[in-house]
Amino acid sequence: MTAKKATATKATAKKATAKKEPVKKASATTQSATAQPAKRAAAKSGSARQRATIESASAVESAPLVEPALPAESVPAVESAPPAQSPPPVKSAPAAKTAPPPQSAPAERPSRRRIAAAAQVSPAPAVARPAAYQDEQRERTLRVVPDPPEPPAPSAVSAVSADDFEGVVGMLVSALRTGGSMIGLRGDDLERKVAQALAFLRRRLTGDYEIDDFGFDKEFTEQVWLPMLRPLYKRWFRVEVRGIENIPDEGAALVVANHSGTLPLDGLMTQVAIYDAHPKHRHVRMLGADLVFESPLIGELSRKAGTTLASNPDVERLLGAGELTAVWPEGFKGVGKPFSERYKLQRFGRGGFVSAALRAGVPIIPCAIVGAEEIYPMLGNVKGLARLLGFPYFPITPFFPLLGLAGVIPLPSKWIIEFGTPVETEAFGPAAAEDPMLVFDLTDQVRETIQQSLYSLLLQRRSVFF
């Protein structure tokens, strides 16, 4: 019974609530209807402001912007039915109590960035120009380019140089004649030398000259290299040549000489002696160490003058081609020995020059040079400085490095170059080059021959400088 009473009480409460809700709904509807006229007026004024803003933005932008929100008048107002005809209340009735339609906010004023972006997206169409206008613009553009400058008129200096070319050549000839007279040339010999010098310059300028596989330039050697060495050969050292008849007129031969003098001037004087004293004016192909070709200027000049790297393959190629070849087997041990050991031959290596002569079947000609030991008397050797500079030795002489570059001037000693009797090797045959005992015997024989010649020449020499 108690449960039934509680249920009946709840039903009665619901009915009372249902009766009150229509009354509240009616009052809310009445208030909404009363407030709508004021809201409509505000919406109209807001719509007018929006239209003014849109019109000002469209005047700036070339592309249409986002459409503004519709005015409140276009949105139909939801009017509630009169209280008598209202539908029965539902639990979702609070949704009907929503506020009146919201007023649309005034459109935002477009920024400069948006206007620039719109202009880039839709650029203004190009205005078509008539052909005559385009031609006129093209002609104006071409007129902007300046005309090429007129060639300069020939100056007086260039005109005189061109017209006076023969005079310049005449001055050169006069200078050559003066230089030839200073070195002792006279008459027809002088004119012949001047003509040779001019012809040499012409061939050098036109590239009309030849060199061999080793870089030997015969014309350069005859016209430049040997004439440059002759004053030293004739005037300074006053070289005396003996036994030149032992040099063959043709064919290959190997000249073996002693090495001395701190600087290898003995090789240069031997080259001049063979060319000038021999009736056939033969060129000698000298063999040099690696240091010669590693030097920037000296290496290039040495190759042009006929010097080749001291290696068995190159020696065999030269001898096989019939060239007169010269070698100094002592190497740096001979040219860099102290003055106290002058004219004492050092070891001749392992006899590589003898092996090359045996393979080629050419004679070996001993050569003794007296006078080179005195041009730079070597008193000491700074080994530490030599290693630092990459030299085999750094000499100390009475005048170098005390006098600087003046100490490089050699002393004017009297020279004698003697070519001994050839040692024939053709009878042994090429296979004898593989016999170490034969190679050693021939090497010792050549060395002993040169040593005895040095002693004999020293006895015959009257003085070091006369």
Domains and CATH numbers, the chain: 169-208 (no CATH), 216-375+410-460 (3.40.1130.10)
pLDDT above 60 for 119? no
Q: Which two tokens stand for residue 115?
A: 């206007």
Q: Which two tokens stand for residue 196?
A: 């040779």
Evaluate the CA torsion angle 156, 162, 166, 169 in order and state its sign: positive
Q: Which of 105-114, 182-191, 450-459 has the lowest mean pLDDT?
A: 105-114
Mean pLDDT over 23-38 rounds to: 44
Q: Which amino acid appears at position 400 of this protein?
A: F
Q: What is the pLDDT of residues 280-314, one digit of tens each?
A: 999 999 999 999 998 888 999 999 999 999 998 99
Q: How far apart are CA 92 and CA 191, in angstroms?
A: 135
What mean pLDDT value characterizes the chain? 77
- Of residues 205 and 357, which shows the higher confidence score? 357
Mean pLDDT over 254-265 rounds to: 95
**Residue 364, beta-bridge partner list:** 254, 423
Mean pLDDT over 202-217 rounds to: 89
Position 191 scores a pLDDT of: 80
Q: How far apart are CA 114 and CA 111, in angstroms?
A: 5
Q: Which of 179-183, 217-221, 256-260, 336-340 has the lowest mean pLDDT?
A: 179-183
Please name the residues in contact with 308: beta carbons below 8 A apart, sequence gap of 6 or more: 214, 285, 286, 287, 288, 314, 315, 318
Position 117 scores a pLDDT of: 64
Mean pLDDT over 86-110 rounds to: 50
The most confident of the ranges 156-165, 183-192, 319-328 is: 319-328
Report the C-alpha dihedral over residues 451, 454, 456, 460, rounded to 10 degrees. -170
Per DSSP, helices labelled H in 310-435 are 312-320, 332-335, 352-360, 383-389
- Of residues 64 and 422, which shows the higher confidence score? 422
Position 207 scores a pLDDT of: 85
Mean pLDDT over 219-235 rounds to: 93
Q: How far apart are CA 198 and CA 204, in angstroms?
A: 10
Mean pLDDT over 328-332 rounds to: 93
Q: What is the pLDDT of residues 181-192, one digit of tens each?
A: 776 667 777 788
pLDDT band of residue 216 (cuts 50, 70, 90) is: very high
Mean pLDDT over 64-83 rounds to: 43
Position 26 scores a pLDDT of: 39
E-strand ranges in 264-387 read: 284-288, 308-309, 324-327, 364-370, 380-381
What spatial distance separates the first Cα and last Cα of the chain, rounded to whole Å?
167
pLDDT above 60 for 445? yes
Position 223 scores a pLDDT of: 87
Q: What is the pTM of this model?
A: 0.62
Cα 272 versus chain centre, distance: 40
Q: Which amino acid appears at position 63 of this protein?
A: A
CB 358 within 8 A of CB 436: no
